[in-house]
Amino acid sequence: MSILANKDTRVVIQGGQAGVNAARRMAEFCYLIKRPLNVEAFVYPPDAGKTNEIPYGSGLIAIPVYKTIAEATKHHATINTSLVYIGADRAMKGGMEALDDPHIKVVSMITEGVPEKDAKLLGAHARKLGKVFNGPSSIGIISAGSCRLGVIGGAFDNLVLSKLYREGSFGVITKSGGLSNEIIWICSQFADGITTAIGIGGDAYPGTDYVSYLEMFENDPQTKAVVIVGEMGGDLEERAAEWYGAKKRRIKLIGVVSGFCQESLPKGMKFGHAGAKEGMKGEGSARSKSEALKKAGALVPPTFGALGPAIKETYQELLKSGQVKEPVEPAVLPRLPKSIEEAMKADEVMVAPLIRTTISDDRGDEPCYDGYPASELINKGYEIPHVIGLLWDKRLISKQEAEIIKRIMMLSADHGPCVSGAYATILAACAGIGLSQSVAAGMIMIGPRFGGAVTDAGRWFKHAVDNKMNVDEFLAYMKKNVGPVPGIGHRVKSLRNPDKRVKELVGYVKSLSIKTPCLDFALEVEKVTAAKKDNLILNVDGTMAAVLVDIGFPIDSLNGFFILSRTIGLIGHWVDQKRQDSRLIRLFDYLVNYAAPKRREVPPLK
Amino acid sequence: MAKVLEGPGMGLMKKWGIAVPQYVVVTSADELAKLGQANEWMKKSKLVAKAHEALGSRFKLGLVKVGLDVNEAVAATKEMIGRQVGSITVTQVIVSEMIPHKEEYYCAVKSTREGSEILVANCGGIEVESNWDRVKRLTLDVGQQPTSEALEKLAKDAGFSGSLTKKMADFAGKMFTCFDNEDAQYLEVNPVVVRESDGELVALDAVTLLDGDAKFRHPDWNFQFAAEFGRAYSKDEMDVMAVDSKIKGSVKFIEIPGGDTAMLPAGGGASVYYSDAVVARGGKLANYAEYSGDPPDWAVEVLTEKICSLPHIKNIIVGGAIANFTDVKKTFGGIINGFRKAKSDGKLKSVKIWVRRGGPREKEGLDAMRALRDEGFDIHVFDRNTPLTDIVDKALQK
C-alpha cells in the first residue's frame, strides 16, 4: 500500500509547459509500472480546447486542456488530485480553485516563491475542508509501484536504479526536493526501498507538516519505518517528535536534521531553505530538533553520512522480526524506448538524412558559412559580399571581387517606383499587405522582361566565349536558336542617352588588372547591335552578368544578385508607403481602354 | 525574508496610520543642511542621528547620536558617512525628531505557522529582553482579524490601564493591519512611547521583515532589501544575486571570511548537510553556496569563478545529491569552464577538488569532470555509490 498517491490516483495538472514536462515524467513512471497514464487533464486557460501530447512508451497520448478545474472534473469524473504548476502570483487562486472542487482530495503545489500568507491561507482552507494541501515548493510525491506525482524520482534510469517499480517498506518525508532522490536511493540500497516519498516543500510554513503524514504512514500497514529529513528553523521536527513520543507507535522513525554548521558560523548568518530560520533562544536549531527526536525514541544518526547504515540497521531488525521479507525483483522490466536523438547519440541507429546541405551549419553557438564562423568573419573585416561568396559559390572571394559585388549591389538597389517590381510592391503596400508579401509581390515581377535577364545573359555570353565564337557567329546562333540576346537593349536608354550605371561598372572593372573575356565579348556584341539600332546597347543585366561570370560565379546564382540588391529597394518602397499612410490605389478610368462590348441585354437562361 | 531598513520600515507603518517621528534619510551632510533649512521641525525639536545600515549594536559603535540641534546633526552625519565597520561602509544616515517621553512599551507582530501573533508588553527598550514573561500574546489564524475587544484584553493582560489600554489596543491593531497588508513576516516597535505633547503613542524604531516573495503585489516597495546577517553584501555576493534574479533555477553565494573549505554543492537541502559535514569534521567553511532547479551553465560558471576566487582555500566540495531534473552534464559544463578560467588566471594552485553527484546525464557529467585530471587539476570524482557527504570526510582527512 501507500499513502496520498496510489493506483487509483487520477490527476489534473494546472499549468503550462512545466506541467507538461511533469506529465511526461509521470508517463515514464506509468510505463515502467505498466499502468495507464494517470494524468487525465490539464487546466491552462491560454491553451483551453487544445491537447498536450504526452509520450507513453513509443506512443503518444493526447491529454485535453481545459479552462477551469470544474470543466476538467466534469469531463473526467475520476480526477481526485491536482498538481499546481502555475506562477507564484496566480498560484493561490489556482490552488483554491482546486481545493474547492468536490472531486479533488489532494492538491500538491510545485510552484516556488509563493507568498507565505497565500500558502497559509491554502493550508488553512484545506484543513477546513478535510483535504490535503501539499507544498508549495514541493518536488512531488511518489508511491513505489503505483503512482508518481511530479518529477520526484528523477530520470527513468534513476527510477529503475532506486527500485521504484516495486514497493518497499520505508516512508520518506523531506523538505528538500534535491535530497528526496538521495533518500529514496539510500532506502533502495540499504533496505528494500520505499512505500511513499513526499516532498513537503522547503518554505517556512508548508501547507502540511510531518505529523499529518506520519499519521497516514502509521495507518499504512506496508510502511514499517519512516525517514524524515529535517532542517533548522520552524518546529515541524519538534512536532513530529512530540507525536512519536506521545504513545507507542507501530512505525519506526529515523530522522536527520541539517543546520549544525549554524553553530560555528558568524552570528545571524543563515542559509538553506526559507524555512531554515533560526529560532529564538535555541528553539528550532538543528541540535534541539535532533535532541527532541532522539528523546521521543527516534533513531537519529549523528551525520547525514550515517543515515544509510541507520536505515540498514532498521531494515535488518525488520527482517529478523519477520515484519518484512526479502523483496522479489521482477525478472524483466520495461525499457523506455530511446528517442531517435538518444539512439543516434549512442551510435545505435543510422538515419538516412532527408536533405543535404554543403554551405551552412547552425548547430554550434553561431552559424558557420562554408565552415567559417560568422563572428570571426565580422571581426576579421569581411563584409556582406564575402558572405555571398561563401553561400553562393562556396569560396572566400578576394577583396577586389568583393568590391565589384558591392558596386553591383549599390547600382542595382533601386531603379525608382515605375519599374514593375517596385510598382507591384507599392500597389500591395497601398492595399494594406504586409512587408514580406508586398516585397514578394514585387519579386515575382522579376522575369524575362524585368531584371531577370542576368542569368540568361551570363549563360549565352559564356557560351560564346567558351565556344570561341565571333560576334557574327554568336548573333546568328542566337537568332536561330534562342531569340533576342539577353542583356542587350534598353527601353529608355540608348547610344545618345547612355546608361551611367553601365559606364561606371565597366569603367571600374576595366581599371582592374583582371581578365574579363565575357565583358569584352559583350562590349563587342554591343558595338554591332547598337550600330543596327541605337537602343540595342548593353544594359545593366548584361553588364552584371558578364562581370560576374568573369569573376567565376555560377550561372544559376546570377539572378540572385539582382533579387538581393533589388530587395533593398522594394523594402524601401514598402516602408515609404507605410510612412505616408498611403491609401488604396484604384486605376483611373482614363488609363484604361474599355474595349469590351457595349452594354446589352442578358438573354434568358436556357 | 527580506529585511527593510528603518526609514522605509517607518514609511510603511506611517502608511497604515501608526504615528512615527518626523524623519529624513540622507546620504551627505550637505543634503541634511539643506533639509534643515527647509523643515521647521528640524529647527524646533532635538534630533537623533543614526547610521542607516543593516548593522547591529550601532549605539556601541557610536553610530547613534541623540539630543542634537541641526548643526550638531549635520556634524554627526559628516562624521558617520563613509565610516567603515567591517565590510560595511556607512552611506546613509537617518535623522529624526527626538520625542520626549517617560514611558516605553513594546509591540510586535510575527508570523506563525497557523497565522500570526500580536505581542505587547508594558515595558520597552532593553527591558523587554530581560522581562520576556511580561510580553503577552494574541494568537490569530491566517485570514482572521483581531477584534477591538481582543486587542483591549491583550493590552489589559499586559498591564495597561485607563486610557492607555485603548491607545495600546489601537496601536497594536494598526501594527497588525500594516503586517497583514504589507505581507510582513515580522514587525517590531521597541520602544513604543507616549508623546508628552499630546499623549499619543509613537513608534520610535521599526524592525521590518517583509516576505520578498510577495513583492509582485507591492509596487510601492521601491526600497532595496538589506542583508540579514549584520553586514552588507560583498560585490561578489551581489554579482551572484544579479545572476540569480535573471535565470530559471537558482544560484546562491555567501562568503564566510577566514575559511579554507570552499563549497559548491547543488540543492538548498543538500548544501546545508554538506556544510554540516565540513563543520563536523573540524573544517572551516569559506562560503555557503548552492545551485538548483537546472540553472543555465553560464550561471553556474559565474558562481564557480566566485568560489575559485575565495582566498586561502584548500579544498572545493562539488557535492550534490541525485538530481531530479537538473542536467548534471550541463551544470558541470559551467563548473568546468569556471575551473579552467580560474586555473588560467593562476588560481586553484594546490587546491583539491572533490566531486560527488547523480542525476540526469550523470555519467557524461562525471566523466567530463574526471577528464580534468588530464589538464592538471587535482580532482577526485565519485558517483552515487559513494554516500553523499563522504567526499567531505575524504577531503578533510588529516
pLDDT in tens, B242-288: 999 899 889 999 999 899 999 999 998 899 999 999 999 999 999 99
C-alpha cell at A566: 533589388
Q: Which one of B111, B276, B324 has the shortest CB-CB distance to A261?
A: B276
Which residue in B has a C-alpha nearest to residue A308's C-alpha? B387
In chain B, the N- to C-terminal Cα span, in Å, equals 39
Residues 6+ apart with CB under 8 A from B71: none
Name the pLDDT band for B24 (thresholds 50, 70, 90): very high
Average confidence (pLDDT) over A272-279: 52
> What letters, b where the CB count within 10 A reaches 16 and e where it falls short, cover B299-330?
bbbbbbbbbbbbeebbbbbbbbbbbbbbbbbb
In this predicted structure, what is the pLDDT of residue A252? 97
How far apart CA B268 and CA A274 sit, in angstroms, is: 9
**Phi, psi torsion values for A172, nearest 5 degrees:** -135, 130
Q: Do B268 and A158 touch (CB under 8 A)?
A: no
Rounded-to-integer distance, Cα B178 and Cα B5, Å: 16
Interface contact A205, partner B, CB < 8 A: yes
Report residue A433 CA to chain centroid gap: 30
Q: Is B275 on the interface with A (CB under 8 A)?
A: yes
The Cα of A134 is separated from the nearest Cα of chain B by a number of Å equal to: 14
Among A32-46, A269-283, A353-367, name the most confident range: A32-46
pLDDT at A280: 44
Of A285-299, A495-509, B39-53, B217-231, minimum mean pLDDT range: B217-231
Helix, strand, coil proportions of chain A in percent (round to 5)?
45, 15, 40
Mean pLDDT of A351-357: 94
The neighbour count for residue B244, using CB atoms within 10 Å, is 18
Q: What is the pLDDT of residues A443-478, one digit of tens each?
A: 999 887 788 889 999 999 999 999 999 999 999 999
Mutation target to probe the B interface, by most B beta carbons within 10 A, among A176, A211, A235, A312 is: A176
Confidence of residue B115 (pLDDT cuts 50, 70, 90): very high
A97 to chain B, closest Cα gap in Å: 17
High-pLDDT (> 70) share of chain B, %: 99
Q: How far apart are CA B388 and CA B392, in angstroms?
A: 9
A437 contacts A489 by C-beta, under 8 angstroms: no
- Cα(B30)–Cα(B33) distance, integer angstroms: 5
Q: Is the pLDDT of residue A102 over 90?
A: yes
Cβ <8 Å between A178 and B360 = no
The confidence band for B234, taking pLDDT boundaries of 50, 70 and 90, is confident
Residue A279 confidence class, pLDDT cut points 50, 70, 90:
very low
Which chain A residues are closer than 8 Å to B266 by Cβ? 178
For residue A35, the cross-strand partners are none
Q: Is the peptide bond before A417 cis (omega within 30 degrees of 0)?
A: no
Residue owning grid cell 557527504: B389
Instruction: Please state the φ and ψ torsions of residue A13, each to the nearest 5 degrees.
Output: -105, 120
Enter the ipTM.
0.91
Q: Does A110 touch chain B (CB under 8 A)?
A: no
Arithmetic mean of pLDDT, A413-430: 95
20-39 in chain A: CB under 8 A from chain B: 21, 25
C-alpha span between B166 and B169 (Å, rounded): 5
* A-B contacts (CB, under 8 Å): 181
Per the DSSP assignment, residues forming a β-bridge with B117 are: B110, B139
Residue window 354-413, chain A: list those with CB within 8 Å of chain B. Answer: none
C-alpha cell at B330: 550541463
CB proximity under 8 Å: B 359-378 to A: 359-360
In the predicted model, is pLDDT for residue A241 greater than 90?
yes
Question: What is the mean pLDDT of the segment spanning A71-91?
Answer: 97
> What is the amino acid identity at position A357?
T
Cα of A210 to nearest chain B Cα, Å? 13
Bridge partners, A42 (sequence order) = A13, A65
Task: Render pLDDT for B195-214 as a digit per residue (tens, 0 to 9).
Answer: 988 999 999 989 999 999 99
Higher pLDDT, B140 or A267: B140
A181:B111 CB<8 A? no
What average pLDDT does the structure give for chain B? 93
| Gap between the Cα atoms of A287 and B33, Å rounded | 52
Please say whether the beta carbons of A297 and A253 come within 8 A.
yes
Q: Is A309 on the interface with B (CB under 8 A)?
A: no
- Nearest Cα of chain A lies from the Cα of B248 at a distance, in angstroms, of 11
- Which position has the grid cell 547504515? A309
Chain A positions in Cβ-Cβ contact with residue B3 (cut-off 8 Å): none
C-beta of residue B131 within 8 angstroms of C-beta of residue B104 = no
The residue assigned the cell 512536532 is A239
B188/A487 Cα distance (integer angstroms): 89
Q: Which of A247-251, B18-22, B244-248 has the lowest mean pLDDT?
A: B244-248
Cell of B276: 554540516
Q: Which of residues 70-89 of B touch A (CB under 8 A)?
A: none
| Least Cα separation, residue B316 to chain A (angstroms) | 17
Q: What is the pLDDT of residue A451?
A: 81
| Per-residue cell: B55 | 548593522
What are the counts of helices (DSSP H) followed by strands (DSSP E) for chain A? Answer: 22, 16
Q: Average pLDDT of B319-323?
A: 94
Alpha helices in A261-337 (DSSP H): 286-295, 307-320
Give the span between the Cα atoms of B131 and A9, in whole angstroms.
Answer: 53
* pLDDT given at position A267: 65
- Tell me the per-residue pLDDT of B57-90, one tens digit each, with 9 for 90 and over: 788 888 999 999 999 999 999 999 999 887 778 9
Q: For A33-130, where are the alpha helices, taking DSSP H only?
A: 69-75, 91-100, 116-129
Residue A295 dihedral angles phi and psi, to the nearest 5°: -60, -35
Chain A contact set for B254 (CB, 8 A): 269, 271
Contact residues on chain B for A303, CB-CB shorter than 8 A: 276-277, 280, 389
The span from the CA of B103 to the CA of B335, in Å, is 58
Please judge whether A258 and B142 are an interchain contact, meaning their C-beta atoms are less than 8 angstroms apart: no
pLDDT, position B333: 96
Burial class (CB in 10 A: 0-12, 13-18, 19+), B103: middle
Residue A278 has pLDDT above 50, yes or no: no
Least confidently predicted of A247-261, A336-350, A574-588, B285-299:
A336-350
Q: Is A227 on the interface with B (CB under 8 A)?
A: no
What average pLDDT does the structure give for chain A? Answer: 94
If you average pLDDT over residues A542-550, what whole number do you get? 96
> Residues A569-590: pLDDT tens digits?
999 999 999 999 999 999 999 9
Residue A423 has pLDDT above 60, yes or no: yes
Active-site residue, A273 included: yes
Catalytic residue among A273, A386, A490, A573: A273
Alpha-carbon gap, residue A425 to A418, rounded angstroms: 11
Q: Considering only residues 138 to 157 of chain B, which have any Cβ-Cβ distance to chain A shorter than 8 Å?
A: 141-143
